Amino acid sequence: MKCLACGYVTKHRWASLDCPRCHKLTGYEDGPPPRKPPPTGSSRIVPLSAAPANPVRRISVGPEIDKALGGGWPLPASFTLSGPPGAGKTTGALRWASRIARETNRPALLVSAEMARGLARAYVERLGLELERFLVLESSDVEVLRDEAAKLDPLPSCIIVDSASRMQTAAHGHNTPQAIAATIEVVTSLVTKCRAVAFVIFHATKDGRIKSPSDSDHDVDGTIWVYENGEAHVEKHRHGPAPVVISARQ
């Protein structure tokens, strides 16, 4: 796809996000396929022991989860959180976000594409969590999330998107591959900018099929599947052991 404003060519297929070169929202048209990017990294072979260390900050949220995750939730990192209805995906994300917010002394941001603000408040209160730890954005618009979150001061320590299947762009409705890809891209960008943890919630059917059409697992740092018994299986984790089992109810 080619930007209509400056001619920048990209592999992305949605039309609503701003161009990474000129930052205009003019959209894209079909163009030649993107060129193969140049190789990254060093061209020399070196001992792995000579590679620079890449320390990851860990947020402690409790002995059991800390042990399972290799020391706590990593910052920055993004996770998809999937499971059938009623399994406890939102509950788990809110509990984890509350602890992350407390440990970092920075708020958690709930992007509520399904619940009104009042319902979100009642949900947090019902769980016995501290309201002052949370901010809420009642919107399903990907661009609104991108623009509003970047204005926050202090920046959030945790971002929950509930749910990815309800997010949409100006050009694409909810539950489309383009809108979901845009959501994941915006969230991962915010995670890096904010030095935060993100939980992007996906719904699934009872037989385990993800309702949202997406290849998002490749673009995030971890994938978590929540079962109806409250177990959360971390099936992929770039910064720690996997698979491991943690509790979504602690």
203-247 pLDDT per residue, tens: 886 665 565 444 667 789 999 999 888 889 998 888 888 889 988
Q: What is the structure's pLDDT at 15? A: 45
Residues 6+ apart with CB under 8 A from 181: 12, 13, 14, 214, 216, 219
Q: What share of the chain is helix, strand, coil (3-state, %, to 5)?
A: 30, 25, 45
Q: What is the structure's pLDDT at 92? A: 94
**How does 61-91 read in b/e, with b if 16+ C-beta sit within 10 Å?**
beeebbebbebbbbbbbbbbbbbbeebbbbb
Name the DSSP class of 113: S
Rounded CA-CA distance 33/113 in Å is: 34
Q: What is the structure's pLDDT at 12? A: 52
Structure confidence by residue, pLDDT tens digits, 106-118: 999 999 999 999 9
Q: What is the structure's pLDDT at 14? A: 45
Rounded CA-CA distance 46/48 in Å is: 6
Q: Check residue 106 and give left, alpha or beta (phi > 0: left; psi -120 to 50: alpha).
A: beta
This prediction has a pTM of: 0.79
Rounded CA-CA distance 180/232 in Å is: 22
Q: What is the structure's pLDDT at 148? A: 95
Q: Which positions of the chain have pLDDT values less than 70?
A: 1-2, 4-5, 8-42, 205-216
Rounded CA-CA distance 165/177 in Å is: 9
Q: What is the structure's pLDDT at 212? A: 47
Rounded CA-CA distance 2/12 in Å is: 9
Q: What is the structure's pLDDT at 149? A: 94
Domains along the sequence of the chain with CATH: 1-34 (no CATH), 57-247 (3.40.50.300)
Three-state secondary-structure class, residue 82: strand
